[in-house]
A and B are shown apart, each in its own frame.
Chain A
């Protein structure tokens, strides 16, 4: 069953059929995804048995290039696996794996409930462990991407003391990225709609954007509902500020010319919509009671559950005029409206459905995901192709995130035509600084003798990227950041350059250098040192050209320029041949700081 176009929703609601419709739609979605999963599983068995993949990368370099986009970094094992099963099977296999979770580790490390004293460091340890070792790499990369779109951060709103709540939030992102089974065996589809609903119910997000314990306005007291989540969920998590075509280009009013500097794109919503959504998001709080206020890590287990609604505090008195998909909020507005006394749960479910189904969502979210995985400046055609899959995965399902990521990774622009998008588009992106570290750690199987991945928030500060530690809801960088100079002058975006400055360029290079020097066998290592295993590289150290070629294979997807190979080879030849570890460390130090490694093409 195809989901009804949203225009029908108003009719259904008016006829009191909303919940029936919703139930049917969820049912159809679950059935369709279940079918897709079982089909995928049988294909896998077939492929692993005796079929040959028809879409396998033709070289280690091609495989590594794909894995740089789709994982926290290529490994020898993943390169071989991908070359065996091909892109499509690899993606299916990845998405069918259960999510590696943070919260159980964070709780277990500190022996909860006996000694409930976890910190952010415990959560970050698990983040790093998962980035390096989790088998569900693609799902983890999706969670990482969503954590930069729907941002919660321990830097705000008292979340610093709640690592378990933040771990649970990250787990929500990882589960919803590709679907999951709950404890009762119920399947939850990995859709944008479900993700938006689960994020909205998360107590961590409730604290982050301050709508937990948000109360109905009170005319006598002169108070209004908190507008924080209402504004940011629209602006950042769903639709953005202006109407967009499916290729993300802005929609201008018909009576003005975009060349005219006073001609602005049509805004998606007026302030009145923010105020109306603020009313929708009233009444929600912890399961243990509306006025519960768990602080630091001493939450009751129930408080980590999705928030529930307390009708007493919900704003019921008014009808709520929410969103017009055409930006028409005038006298003849076609905006969706929720009636007064609609009920707390209904207000939220319907309000989120109206938001999730806005035509902006597909291009707005697709474009940001493309920026996280493959290129900072996708062509409009690339965005439109992905947005079309977002709108309908081919089986009538809206917002199927697994299908969306597959479309992003397998798009011709990302796979085959990468070197030549039409000017002025430039394919590629600056590597996220923290993913430089994970690339090093993954290829060389970084591990510590104590079995942990001891890191602190301070360690990640060198990269200006701490998981769930952005300065604000605006993430580490904005999707629309235009670096001043050449890129910005050409109208090109470069989000990661917003955290690339003279100070961070050096602090990142310094930390990578010191971690590259923590190699297995280094006598300075302690039990807690996260050591890379570069014995294979050290064995090549007497032959500089061979060592450089291996580094190119391992870390630079075989794309190192001839000049850079010569430069590194020349450098190595000047270093003592009887110190293979020194040669490897020196080569890694320079490579990890180099301009070529800094960019993912």
Chain B
């Protein structure tokens, strides 16, 4: 395989890391740091991945701050809307404002609508190109309210904390305290499918992130404008500078901090050329809204996808985050704009994949660390737990709601405050694990059962590893 320098460098770094690990093993302080990475790194006994001919990509859209997704997907039949409205108080969206969606297979008398600023998402949903996975959150094992309230029942640590819950959504092992994410572990295994590629399978539009951190394969960070170029090292006039910089970057430094910086800089040097040359052949894509940072990033992702052939990419994993969802204050003012940004960006991206003819090969999905209290703190909402996620793409078995039924019996939970499905302020208890959601996506990208069990060791505690929204 004519694979790139990055795997070679990673092998080197891994060897160096093993030396550090040997030293660390003797340290009492580091015994608390569970050395899960070594176990995760290898596909222990799992089948190898044969070459593939088709192309598939996952696009993770992470909504930072905790998206109030129970104001995105709202029950609109009179019975359940009344419960919704009573629980949400001033945060409730008026029933006549909801954008109706046509959900296949709902019980008689039940209906749903989306937030009025999610017109485009409703269209995607109704065209069977989108679906919701409902009432999903971080879990160690199936958990009902009685269990949640009982002392000693295993729960994900630090529920309601932004940083911890982001890390847990991005990694299939809620209690582990390492560095990697599930997208990164998938990348470690599937990078081999991009034979001949000179850039990593993972590309980030939002810099470093836990989701894409692997053992061997780390994401390549670009911006909405494409890969950042290094200036001052081109052409004959800068030949001496370029030679000097390359010489310094090629050194093996005694200090691991210095090595870590050099590795990133080297990757930037290595990947830039391949990416910029490939992108020069990208078509102009239209239909993306202006002044929409998420749309800008998704447009660049579409452009990268359009040159997948030049990049020799059969599988890709993209990450982009959008902030602002921590709506403790002014929610009624801020939420419409957030949802407009999300809805218009996703719709434009779907249209672009359709224009490129890859709509069935690209699956886009949202994640967010938690949803928010159903009731209000006056003019906003506080941190809660389970929420709803949107999945989009031609491969999605759309126009449906997915997940495990809540304790109240229905797929969509009972929103009565302090009822059977939620706590006092309307913090919903997840009926579906974020791991089940993630594993369904990883499986579609091509990860086998054997590796899924390693990447998501808690998965076996749940009734299914495949929620079905991707077939």
Question: Are B221's CB and A501's CB within 8 A?
Answer: yes
Chain A residues near B261 (CB-CB < 8 A): 430, 497, 500, 505, 595, 598-599
Residue of A210, A488, A489, A564 contacting most chain B CB atoms (<10 Å): A489
Instruction: Indicate if A108 sits at the interface (CB-CB under 8 A).
Output: no
* Chain A 101-127 interface 0/1 with B at a Cβ cutoff of 8 Å (1 = within): 000000000000000000000000000
Q: Contacting B248 at CB < 8 Å: which of A221, A262, A594?
A: A594
Q: Report the minimal beta-carbon distance from A458 to chain B, rounded to whole angstroms.
A: 13
Question: Are B377's CB and A574's CB within 8 A?
Answer: no
Q: Whole-angstrom distance between the alpha carbons of A433 and B232 in the complex?
A: 19
Instruction: Indicate if A7 sits at the interface (CB-CB under 8 A).
Output: no
* Chain A 223-257 interface 0/1 with B at a Cβ cutoff of 8 Å (1 = within): 11111100100010000010000000110000000
Instruction: Indicate if A448 sits at the interface (CB-CB under 8 A).
Output: no
Instruction: Indicate if B214 sits at the interface (CB-CB under 8 A).
Output: yes
Question: Are A231's CB and B160's CB within 8 A?
Answer: yes
Q: Whole-angstrom distance between the alpha carbons of A241 and B228 in the complex?
A: 37
Question: Are B218's CB and A484's CB within 8 A?
Answer: yes
Question: Are A261's CB and B34's CB within 8 A?
Answer: yes
* Chain B 140-162 interface 0/1 with A at a Cβ cutoff of 8 Å (1 = within): 00000000000100100111111
- The segment out of B93-101, B321-329, B396-404 that lies at the interface is B321-329
Q: Report the minimal beta-carbon distance from A150 to chain B, rounded to whole angstroms.
A: 16
Chain A residues near B332 (CB-CB < 8 A): none
Residue of B with least CB distance to A583: B240
* Chain A 205-230 interface 0/1 with B at a Cβ cutoff of 8 Å (1 = within): 00001100011000001111111100
Instruction: Indicate if B37 sits at the interface (CB-CB under 8 A).
Output: yes
Q: Report the minimal beta-carbon distance from B246 to chain A, rounded to whole angstroms.
A: 10
Instruction: Indicate if A589 sits at the interface (CB-CB under 8 A).
Output: yes
Given A226-B328, A426-B255, A595-B251: A506 in contact with B230 (beta carbons within 8 A): yes
Interface hits, B59-115 → A, CB 8 Å: 64-65, 87, 89-90
Instruction: Indicate if B127 sits at the interface (CB-CB under 8 A).
Output: no
Chain B residues near A228 (CB-CB < 8 A): 326, 328-329, 382
Question: Are B267's CB and A484's CB within 8 A?
Answer: no
Question: Are A430's CB and B329's CB within 8 A?
Answer: no
Chain A residues near B231 (CB-CB < 8 A): 510, 513-514
Instruction: Indicate if A429 sits at the interface (CB-CB under 8 A).
Output: yes
Chain B residues near A249 (CB-CB < 8 A): 29, 32
Instruction: Indicate if A380 sits at the interface (CB-CB under 8 A).
Output: yes
Residue of A235, A429, A486 contacting most chain B CB atoms (<10 Å): A486
* Chain B 283-299 interface 0/1 with A at a Cβ cutoff of 8 Å (1 = within): 00000000000000000
Question: Are A594's CB and B245's CB within 8 A?
Answer: yes
Instruction: Indicate if B244 sits at the interface (CB-CB under 8 A).
Output: yes
- The segment out of A56-64, A176-184, A343-351, A565-573 that lies at the interface is A565-573
Chain B residues near A586 (CB-CB < 8 A): 240-241
Interface hits, A544-601 → B, CB 8 Å: 563-564, 567-568, 570-571, 574-575, 586, 589-590, 593-596, 598-599, 601
Given A226-B382, A504-B221: A483 in contact with B260 (beta carbons within 8 A): yes
Chain A residues near B326 (CB-CB < 8 A): 228, 472
Interface hits, B381-396 → A, CB 8 Å: 382-383
Question: Are B241's CB and A590's CB within 8 A?
Answer: yes
Question: Are B161's CB and A235's CB within 8 A?
Answer: yes
Question: Are A482's CB and B31's CB within 8 A?
Answer: no
Counting contact residues on chain B (CB < 8 A from A), the size range is 35 or more
- The segment out of B173-181, B338-346, B437-445 that lies at the interface is B173-181
Q: Report the minimal beta-carbon distance from A417 to chain B, rounded to whole angstroms.
A: 15
Q: Whole-angstrom distance between the alpha carbons of A497 and B208 in the complex?
A: 9
Given A210-B328, A261-B176, A590-B245: A226 in contact with B377 (beta carbons within 8 A): yes
Instruction: Indicate if A259 sits at the interface (CB-CB under 8 A).
Output: yes
Instruction: Indicate if B243 sits at the interface (CB-CB under 8 A).
Output: yes
Chain B residues near A157 (CB-CB < 8 A): 329
Residue of B27, B262, B382 contacting most chain A CB atoms (<10 Å): B382
Instruction: Indicate if B204 sits at the interface (CB-CB under 8 A).
Output: yes
Question: Are A489's CB and B248's CB within 8 A?
Answer: no
Given A157-B329, A567-B244: A502 in contact with B222 (beta carbons within 8 A): yes
Chain A residues near B151 (CB-CB < 8 A): 330
Q: Report the minimal beta-carbon distance from A44 to chain B, rounded to whole angstroms.
A: 36
Given A489-B179, A502-B268: A262 in contact with B164 (beta carbons within 8 A): no
Instruction: Indicate if A487 sits at the interface (CB-CB under 8 A).
Output: yes
Q: A-B contact count, CB below 8 Å?
A: 261
Q: Report the minimal beta-carbon distance from A223 to chain B, rounded to whole angstroms.
A: 5
Chain A residues near B239 (CB-CB < 8 A): 574
Q: Report the minimal beta-carbon distance from B240 to chain A, rounded to whole angstroms.
A: 4
Question: Are A222's CB and B376's CB within 8 A?
Answer: yes
Chain A residues near B377 (CB-CB < 8 A): 214, 223-227, 278
Instruction: Indicate if B375 sits at the interface (CB-CB under 8 A).
Output: yes
Chain B residues near A21 (CB-CB < 8 A): none
Question: Are A423's CB and B23's CB within 8 A?
Answer: yes
Q: Report the minimal beta-carbon distance from A276 to chain B, rounded to whole angstroms.
A: 14
Q: Whole-angstrom distance between the alpha carbons of A472 and B328 in the complex?
A: 13
Chain A residues near B245 (CB-CB < 8 A): 590, 593-594
Residue of A215, A250, A261, A380 contacting most chain B CB atoms (<10 Å): A261
Q: Report the minimal beta-carbon distance from B158 to chain A, rounded to whole angstroms.
A: 5
- The segment out of B13-21, B45-53, B301-309, B357-365 that lies at the interface is B13-21
Q: Contacting A571 at CB < 8 Å: which of B90, B158, B215, B244?
A: B244
Question: Are A599's CB and B244's CB within 8 A?
Answer: no
Q: Whole-angstrom distance between the alpha carbons of A488 and B34 in the complex?
A: 12
Instruction: Indicate if B1 sits at the interface (CB-CB under 8 A).
Output: no
Question: Are A487's CB and B264's CB within 8 A?
Answer: no
Question: Are A509's CB and B230's CB within 8 A?
Answer: yes
Given A222-B89, A593-B245, A599-B255: A505 in contact with B223 (beta carbons within 8 A): no
Q: Report the minimal beta-carbon distance from B237 to chain A, rounded to whole angstroms.
A: 9
Given A503-B207, A510-B230, A594-B245: A226 in contact with B378 (beta carbons within 8 A): yes
Chain A residues near B382 (CB-CB < 8 A): 224, 226-228
* Chain A 503-541 interface 0/1 with B at a Cβ cutoff of 8 Å (1 = within): 111110110011000000000000000000000000000
Q: Report the minimal beta-carbon distance from A317 to chain B, rounded to whole angstroms.
A: 16
Instruction: Indicate if A474 sits at the interface (CB-CB under 8 A).
Output: yes
Residue of A with least CB distance to B210: A484
Instruction: Indicate if B278 sits at the interface (CB-CB under 8 A).
Output: no
Q: Report the minimal beta-carbon distance from B68 to chain A, rounded to whole angstroms.
A: 14
Q: Contacting A504 at CB < 8 Å: which of B17, B207, B262, B425?
A: B207
Interface hits, B186-213 → A, CB 8 Å: 204, 207-208, 213
Chain A residues near B263 (CB-CB < 8 A): 485
Question: Are A223's CB and B89's CB within 8 A?
Answer: yes
Q: Contacting A505 at CB < 8 Å: which of B29, B34, B247, B264?
A: B264
Q: Report the minimal beta-carbon distance from A298 to chain B, rounded to whole angstroms.
A: 19
Q: Whole-angstrom distance between the alpha carbons of A424 and B29 in the complex?
A: 10
Question: Are A241's CB and B260's CB within 8 A?
Answer: no
Chain B residues near A54 (CB-CB < 8 A): none
Chain A residues near B230 (CB-CB < 8 A): 506, 509-510
Chain B residues near A135 (CB-CB < 8 A): none
Instruction: Indicate if B33 sits at the interface (CB-CB under 8 A).
Output: yes
Q: Whole-angstrom distance between the alpha carbons of A589 and B248 in the complex?
A: 13
Instruction: Indicate if A339 sits at the interface (CB-CB under 8 A).
Output: no
Chain A residues near B413 (CB-CB < 8 A): none
Question: Are A486's CB and B20's CB within 8 A?
Answer: yes
Given A223-B376, A489-B37: A589 in contact with B228 (beta carbons within 8 A): no
Question: Are B32's CB and A485's CB within 8 A?
Answer: no
Question: Are A484's CB and B214's CB within 8 A?
Answer: yes
Question: Are A428's CB and B244's CB within 8 A?
Answer: no
Chain B residues near A478 (CB-CB < 8 A): 163
Known: A503-B207, A598-B261, A599-B258. 18 other contacts (CB 8 A): A222-B376, A223-B89, A227-B328, A228-B382, A424-B20, A424-B27, A428-B255, A429-B257, A471-B323, A484-B184, A485-B260, A489-B37, A490-B256, A503-B221, A505-B268, A509-B230, A510-B232, A586-B240
* Listed A/B pairs (9) with beta-carbon separation below 8 Å: A223-B375, A227-B328, A258-B32, A259-B31, A478-B163, A514-B231, A589-B232, A594-B248, A598-B261
- Listed from nearest, the 6 A-B pairs whose CB atoms lie closest are A488-B179, A501-B221, A490-B20, A502-B268, A491-B33, A210-B329
